[in-house]
Structure 1
Amino acid sequence: MEWIKLIGILIILVGFILKFDTIAVVIIAALSTALVSGLSLTEFFTIFGEAFVKNRLVTIFLLTLPMIGISERFGLRQQAIILIERIKGLTVGRFITLYAVIRQIAGLFGIRISAHPQFVRPIVNPMAQAAAKAKFGEISAEDEDKIKARAAANENFANFFGQNTFVASSGVLLIVGTLDSLGYDVSSSAISRTALIIAVITLIVIAIYNHLFDLKLARKYTNKGGQ
């Protein structure tokens, strides 16, 4: 009857298929597995609590979500838009490129910016949208979606290619440890210098990529205004 210990997997499958509450399904599956395996409730909650404490840093990001929601509720998005509208000559592409530069500089010094949910959605995307509307007036819903996607994409580009420029980042330490285990003598500073070259190349590509988007918007809305 050892197969009965796999009941937790069955509970998770059924729960997900029926779209029950995810956390409740996982806890019930864990509890069921513990009981059929001969653990008492006390032992189960002890293991559960110890696992939560050891991995509590993973759930810290949940604290930022209510904070961002409250900030948006009390005008964070509106203030970001007002700020951008006051800056003359700032285009969507220039603004997003500027954000990519800031993102990579932050990575160089090991400063973590909380990416899409906590930064791009409430701040970067609204400011990029405001830059477009300040220059061209109302834009189409399709172009709004393109700007939104571009803001998210530039976050990915800058973060992915810039995170290993910090000499003590987890990625650099992983690379050094892996190469060292294979017999290659490398230093973390050497890895960071190589990553810095890639980061600079990435910024150049990003700048061109965003400039072409500016030209595309200018052609579209200038022609439309001329008609």
Structure 2
Amino acid sequence: MQHAVNLYPLIGVAVIIVGFLLRFNPMLIVAVSAIATGFAAHFPIDGVLAAIGSGFVKTRVIPLIILLPLAVVGLLERHGLRERAQIWISGIRAATPGRLLMVYLFIREITAALGLTGLGGHAQMVRPLVAPMTEGAAEVRYGKLTDAVRYRLRAFAAACDNVGLFFGEDIFVAFGAIVLMTTFLKEAGIVVAPMHVAVWGMPTALAAFIIQSIRLHRLDGWLARVTGGAKPAANDTAATAATATTTTTAAERDAGTRDTTVRTQGENA
């Protein structure tokens, strides 16, 4: 005999969505969501508080794990990490913001599929490296950027990290979400191997990569329209200047030759 599944505890998800849309404090949103979920699941108030307290005790070392990389990244930025990233990418003439982000999306998705989720991230990778490199590639090709364009490039860089991580980690067999799905399906009477869930996550990851790549290709087109097209490359400008100088020198030489010929004819006359 099957029992009806109580879906009211999912109200906590709605609380989180509404809270972030209204831009409330994240800690307050999570706390209210936990309390709402507990009440919807008919937990007593002391059980809800005990669950929140035990969760806090188990994860009290997480802030230290987060703050240490942030301190290292902050020191690197202070010593010119962002500027060096922009200078390095500006030397690659074929690089565009869309192409650069496609490469990062591919690397992020592949490494997440292998379980290396810590190789990327907004704080340790996007802000100090990926976003400045994207802006540098745009400046080399399109010139000086407005603030609106810079914010859009940063948003796309963060989105690539999110997409690559979210859909890439679903391919990793030992990922917690796969274990959760297989456990939930097993309790519902559906036995599924974790490997099967991971394999069927590959088409979704591939579709996510293709869709995001199309968006990045359209980003390059949008940049070209907003900025009025690519500016002349430095090499082309130098070649043009050299050609103009050569032409001017040749014209001056011809003019000098004509003057000498005229003077010689006058003296002979």
Which of 193, 197, 203 does residue 197 from structure 1 map onto? 203
Query: Which has more radius of gyration?
Result: 2
Q: CA deviation at 1:225?
A: 6.4
The equivalent residue for 1:93 is 98
Let me know the Cα RMSD of the aligned residues: 2.2
Task: Kindly report which structure 2 residues correspond to 1:188-227, keeping only aligned pairs within 5 A, or say none.
Answer: 188-222=194-228
Q: Runs of 4 or more off by more than 6 Å in structure 1?
A: 50-53
Q: CA deviation at 1:141?
A: 1.3
Task: Kindly report which structure 2 residues correspond to 1:10-25, keeping only aligned pairs within 5 A, or say none.
Answer: none
Q: Does 1:106 align with 2:111?
A: yes
Residues 115/223 of structure 1: CA separation in 2 closer, same or farther (3 Å cut): closer
Gaps of 5+ in 1: 1-21, 23-47
Q: Does 1:163 align with 2:173?
A: no
2:88 maps to amino acid: L
The equivalent residue for 1:124 is 130
Q: CA deviation at 1:51?
A: 8.0
Once residues 194 and 230 of structure 2 are traced to their aligned partners in structure 1, the CA distance between those partners, rounded to angstroms, is 53
Once residues 150 and 55 of structure 1 are traced to their aligned partners in structure 2, the CA distance between those partners, rounded to angstroms, is 31
Q: CA deviation at 1:66?
A: 0.6
Q: CA deviation at 1:166?
A: 0.7
The equivalent residue for 1:150 is 156
Output one character per residue of 1:138-181: Cα deviation in whole Å (capped at 9) or x when no partner.
Answer: 11111111111111112111111211111111111111111111
Gaps of 5+ in 2: 1-26, 28-52, 233-269
Once residues 185 and 141 of structure 1 are traced to their aligned partners in structure 2, the CA distance between those partners, rounded to angstroms, is 52
Residues 224/200 of structure 1: CA separation in 2 closer, same or farther (3 Å cut): closer
Greater RCO structure (CA 8 Å; 6+ sep)? 1
Q: CA deviation at 1:196?
A: 1.2
Q: CA deviation at 1:221?
A: 2.3
Q: TM-score, normalized by length of structure 1?
A: 0.73
The equivalent residue for 2:62 is 58
2:168 maps to amino acid: G
Which of 82, 85, 105 does residue 80 from structure 1 map onto? 85
Q: Does 1:172 align with 2:178?
A: yes
Q: Is the deviation greater in 192-201 or in 51-60?
A: 51-60
Once residues 219 and 55 of structure 1 are traced to their aligned partners in structure 2, the CA distance between those partners, rounded to angstroms, is 48
Which of 143, 146, 154 does residue 140 from structure 1 map onto? 146
Q: CA deviation at 1:219?
A: 2.5
SS at match of 1:90: coil
Q: Is the deviation greater in 110-119 or in 145-154?
A: 110-119
Q: CA deviation at 1:74?
A: 1.4
Q: CA deviation at 1:52?
A: 7.4
Once residues 162 and 122 of structure 2 are traced to their aligned partners in structure 1, the CA distance between those partners, rounded to angstroms, is 9
Equivalent residue pairs, number: 179
Once residues 102 and 57 of structure 1 are traced to their aligned partners in structure 2, the CA distance between those partners, rounded to angstroms, is 29
